[in-house]
Structure 1
């Protein structure tokens, strides 16, 4: 079975106990990143949370998870957009705090947020205390 087939099978598996167990045993940062890249966000925040909790999850993967879960909205502090989204807010605020505290290693995995120059400028202006790496990536 190829790694792509394995990744697809894992993401389509409907047994959360099995999926959590498999993700917790992954020691390859690139594999964790590939899973995050292919994740269907309509399926909730459980699997992304397991990825972020894996000790081999790197900063690039965590940043990918942050932006794919609407990190731009979070950084814009649009309170109307967060109303009634407690699961999302809990996930993204915890992940953001870990990113800010350098909880993740920076080694093999890279990620550059897909932000325009204007978006980066606005975010940096609104959030001057946030490190550049959050906007520019690794």
Structure 2
């Protein structure tokens, strides 16, 4: 069902981008009588304006399953899995999102929302979920690795020198030393492609990417690729590297307080 221009104008007038919170009126939302109207509002809402409107939508029995499912994944549930569901977060805006998530967690599995022709596939929003396995934080087997490159020397390398040194490295320990200083994914990828790259170096690169390159959108894909390659025994065990004693590794394993129910991963 396509919305009429009148329906769209009503929504755009009363729920426009940047509207002050005090001007939001739940009675106006209750005038929206169809799932399609709520879906239009939800998908055009700017999350920077807060989630008050989205909370009203999540509490509405007129809301479709597709809309609720999309709201759930856009709320980035993975960021809240470390908090107990009965917990109140100190940050007010974060707590509002958490309340929205808890509403959806309660209502969605209980068939609260409408089954409609609106469709939504959540896979693109959750397939990038990334879980660090315990074993990649453990010491690798092999000869004890050591660093003989100096940071001051590496700091003056330009792109060509990085590429040349990676390409011309003659041993696993030389490649390991280069990997110790990477802060760019492209250099990590070049090292991982070398036949001399061993498991210790691959694990080192994993943690350099995790710590130094988290801002890159494709870092998680690279991290998952390293995990997959290690699981498939792509890298020989040559050098011993212990991420737990590496001062550059900033990682503290967090315990997940709740799991995302499987029903939230199914297309509607």
* TM-score of Structure 1 vs Structure 2, range by shorter chain: 0.7 to 0.9
Q: Does the CA contact (< 8 Å) of 2:121 and 2:267 recur in 1?
A: yes
Q: Return the TM-score normalized by structure 2.
A: 0.41
Corresponding residue for residue 106 of structure 1: 115
Moved >4 Å (runs of 4+): none
Deviation per CA, 1:20-76, whole angstroms, max 9, x where unpaired?
Answer: 1121121111111011000001111210011122221111111111112223434xx
Question: How far 1:118 moved relative to its partner?
Answer: 5.6
Structure number with bigger Rg: 2
Structure 2 gaps, min length 5: 132-257
Greater fraction of residues in helix: 1
Task: Find out whether 1:130 has 2:261 as its counterpart.
Answer: yes
CA distance in 1, matches of 2:65, 2:78: 17
- Structure with higher RCO (Cα < 8 A, 6+ apart): 1
Alignment of 1:1-138 (within 5 A): 2=5, 3-12=7-16, 13-14=19-20, 15-17=23-25, 20-74=26-80, 77-79=81-83, 84=90, 85-113=94-122, 114-115=124-125, 117=127, 119=129, 127=259, 130-131=261-262, 133-138=263-268
Paired residues, number: 126
**Higher mean Cα deviation, 110-119 or 60-69?**
110-119
Structure 1 gaps, min length 5: none
Question: How far 1:117 moved relative to its partner?
Answer: 4.2
CA RMSD of aligned residues (A): 2.7
